[in-house]
Amino acid sequence: MKRASGLLLHISSLPSPYGIGDLGPHAYNFVDFLKDSGQTYWQILPINPTDGINGHSPYSCFSAFAGNPLFISPDLLALDGFITPSDLKQVPPFDETQIDYAKLIPFKQKLFDLAFRRFSKQSYKGGYELFVNQQQAWLDDFALFVVAKAIFKGQCWDQWPKTLKERKPEALIYFKNKYAKQIEKVKFIQYLFFSQWYKLKTYADERGISFIGDIPIYVNFDSTDVWCYPSFFKLDKEGRLKFISGCPPDYFSQTGQRWGNPVYDWTELKKTKYSWWVSRITHNLLLFDFLRIDHFRGFSSFWQIPAHEKLAVFGKWIKGPGDAFFKVLLRDFRQLPLIAEDLGETSDAMIALMKRFGFPGMRVLLFAFGGDPKRNPHVPANYPAHCVAYTGTHDNNTIQGWYYQEAKEHERANIKIVLGLKPHPRKLHWQMIEVLLKSKADTVIVPVQDVLGLGALARMNTPATKVNNWKWRLGSGLLASSLAGKLLQITRRSKRCK
């Protein structure tokens, strides 16, 4: 990655009159803002369909391949003729700053029903048919899974009738025939999502803006992926979880985190030359230019917790696939444009793995104010060039929220030492951004909340909590041209753009 910078903003947080950010006009406006402010990267959180169980966390999805239908733009549906402008006259009054999923989902589903009815009457469906053929490897199973979930009233796949749960060929054929129309509708909605995505991606490409995607290392137990490939995960003979994922005690939790995802059976995956993972990386590199792998440590060693244990502290480290996995990937890709999320507890083996394959790690400025500034790896003076540096991530408070609500006395005292200047509380976000941009880190990513100097109410997620997360939205009109100009000046001074 060249010396450049970018902004972090999830699709859901974009402005929109339809209750959630989408792939419509405001996404294109944000690309323009990035270009006008001298940025090179747009980092986005996972774009897969959320399960709704964990507050619609983008890290809790029921497919590693499908797109989130809630990101489909109603404006573009009307522009493409799938709905009429009159269909958008009765839009509910949505909160501009928070997502209300209970109100949002029925509204979007109604639009999808209208779009599908109109699509079904069309004689020419060439684009749709091409998409279905190209994405058949994951799309057929995903569509069947979604419809089965609806038919069985949301039950997890391990509670479905035995023949369908075990994917007996006769059961799959019967289900596909009986619910053919519902299955086609799911495929059509995915067609809408990816059509809109690739148009936005092309627009960004033409303006020199690269997308950084985000891949959670784990998938949900109740997902298309586990239902289709149970042998790739540590399940018992009845398809129940034997072990689950998590992490030991760290900065965010004194008892560790019990994530609950199934852990991989890497021995079984190796027998297939890691085919499922190769497909996953291939699919995502068509959507993004770079991929941040969340919890990269899991490829070196992973925290495995017996499924019956209620606390993560009872887990233990298990060796991951290591070099063998990435050597297979390199046979399929000329290069691996991956960013390793190496925060939390690290290991010598993980660091060595990253170095062998040249993967940059992460540095987070908000972690720089504790401990000894001379040794803290998150202090800008200690950065290697080959890293991606952030003011904060989606799991951190904003700079202003941190300073006024979280920063301890010794951390505030360290601000002057770390930044090398006298802190001005109300301007602290700009001071931190400029110090970060002037650092020798090749890549700097700043959450939009920090560019705007927003407080704790704009925080995206608080780890180890399940309420009031993933709801923040960017109000319309906040990304003014004057803000782009100010960011452009700092970016130029930092020699990260022309």
Active site residues: 294, 341, 395
Q: Which two tokens stand for residue 75?
A: 């404006």
Whether 1 contacts 360, CB under 8 Å: yes
Burial 212-236 (b: 16+ CB within 10 A, else e): bbbbbbbbbbbbbbbbbbbebbbbe
Tell me, what DSSP letter sits at residue 31? H
Report which of 242, 243, 332 is spatially closest to residue 281, judged by C-alpha positions: 332
Whether 316 contacts 303, CB under 8 Å: yes
- Cα atoms in the 13 Å half-sphere on the side-chain side of 266: 18
Taking the C-alpha atoms of residue 445 and residue 447, their distance in angstroms, rounded to an integer, is: 7
| Residue 257 three-state SS | strand
Pairing of strands 243-247, 301-306: antiparallel
Taking the C-alpha atoms of residue 142 and residue 65, their distance in angstroms, rounded to an integer, is: 9
HEC profile of 385-432? CCEEEECCCCCCCCHHHHHHHHCCHHHHHHHHHHHCCCCCHHHHHHHH
What would you report as the CA-atom Rg of the chain, rounded to the nearest whole angstrom? 23
Tell me, what DSSP letter sits at residue 263? P
Report which of 476, 482, 423, 478 is spatially closest to residue 450, judged by C-alpha positions: 478
**Tokens 């890497």, located at residue:** 266
Longest dimension (CA), the chain: 71
Burial 353-382 (b: 16+ CB within 10 A, else e): bbeebebbbbbbbbbbbeeeeeebbbbbee
Q: Give the ranges where 179-304 is alpha helix by DSSP (H).
A: 180-206, 224-228, 266-271, 275-287, 297-300
